[in-house]
A = this chain, B = another copy of it.
Amino acid sequence: MAKIVSDEKLSLFVAKIFQAYGLHQKEAEICTSVLVESDLRGIPSHGVARLKRYTDGMDSGLIRADARPEIVQEGPSTATVDGNGGLGQIIGHFATELAILKAQDTGVGVVSVRNSNHYGIAGYYAQMMLKKELLGISMTNSAPLVVPTFGKEMVIGTNPISLAAPTHKQEPFFLDMATSVVPRGKLEVYEREGKDLPEGWAVDESGKTTQDAGKVLQNMLGRTGGGILPLGGEGELFSGYKGYGMAVMVDILSGVLSGGAYANRVYAKKEGKTIPPNVCHFFLALDIERFVDLEVFKQNMDDLILLLKNSEKAKGQNHIFIHGEKEYENYRNHKRNGIPLQEKVYQILESLGEQHNILFDISK
């Protein structure tokens, strides 16, 4: 059963939790916005359901609530940012604003970030650039959960890529995708529902594809072999090395280019002890006007979208989706009718409120 909550009341509540950790109001609002926007867009796995992980991180000191990002190297179009182990959302927001300013100034802004934490949905930052009518790209590496082609050890993250591009009358194009075939959350859903996994989603401790969601999740937890497959699946038959290659590309642009961590050096342990995860991001903003007239770009985006949408449908299908379309619809629906929050998530938020003595009133 889900509780229906108001995004506005939810935001006020979550922001107060972040403020309880010493964040200024503006910072707390940024962190909150990244989470609540995910719920609004229908991506609850990256929404307020994660709040407890962030507060746990701040409680343990693995996420430093008092750390602020700093620019360690800078040129007119480029920057390297050190997150100093702070909150990923504050760091991501800072780096994106920097990329936006550089793009507005020189046509391009490229910012690579090290020593950050989980920054929420990659798309949040691409959307920030979109709001300034820029073409925005955002990527991040992440906890190693994915096996490389022919491997059985989780060495790479689900390393998502997001791109947002403005349009004229159509809704903006908004791609936000992990480079793995599925996220871990999808395996959890199959386990809960007692369903067999499709072959080609995940491998077991032998490195072979398996239908046993429970076994995979247990192995992943213990890191005893096996994990999620890259986009394209097992082996080379469906070109799994392409998803694997895209994931490494994200690691290079974020982790290696920033001088931070990559592959399974992200969320690594040192001498058996948990250390800050050193998550790394990459942002690219392009000022469209420096390449082509912005109105021409937007009208051609509309045209591109309509060419795709209006093309002939496969038998039994009546709709070709454009990236972002489902999320925009969820957003409108959840804004109007409230966000459905899992009972368990609702209770966790309630107890966080008690713990920090913050009034818990989020019902729609």
**Known A152-B314, A315-B208: A75·B106 in contact at CB below 8 Å:** yes
State how many copies of this chain the complex holds.
2
Contact indicator B238/A153 (Cβ below 8 Å): no
Contact indicator A290/B75 (Cβ below 8 Å): yes
- Cα of A253 to Cα of B237 in the assembled complex, Å: 29
Contacting A291 at CB < 8 Å: which of B73, B251, B288, B321? B73
What band does the interface of chain A fall in when counting residues whose beta carbon is under 8 Å from B?
Answer: 35 or more
**Known A150-B313, A241-B323, A304-B256: A110·B112 in contact at CB below 8 Å:** no
In the bound complex, residues from chain B placing their C-beta under 8 Å from that of A237 are: 198
- Cα of A242 to Cα of B173 in the assembled complex, Å: 13
- Cα of A263 to Cα of B264 in the assembled complex, Å: 37
Scoring A201, A203, A304 by chain B CB atoms within 10 A of each residue's CB, the highest score goes to: A304
In the bound complex, residues from chain B placing their C-beta under 8 Å from that of A232 are: 181, 231-232, 243
In the bound complex, residues from chain B placing their C-beta under 8 Å from that of A319 are: 150
Contact with B along A318-334 (1 / 0, CB 8 A): 01110100000000000
Contacting A73 at CB < 8 Å: which of B150, B163, B292? B292
A233 on the B face (CB < 8 A): yes
Contact indicator A263/B315 (Cβ below 8 Å): no
In the bound complex, residues from chain B placing their C-beta under 8 Å from that of A311 are: 147-148, 151, 153, 155, 264
Given contacts A106-B106, A241-B323, A265-B303, 17 further A-B contacts (CB under 8 A): A76-B106, A78-B287, A78-B290, A112-B291, A112-B292, A148-B308, A148-B311, A151-B308, A163-B252, A173-B248, A175-B245, A175-B248, A181-B239, A200-B238, A252-B301, A257-B286, A262-B304
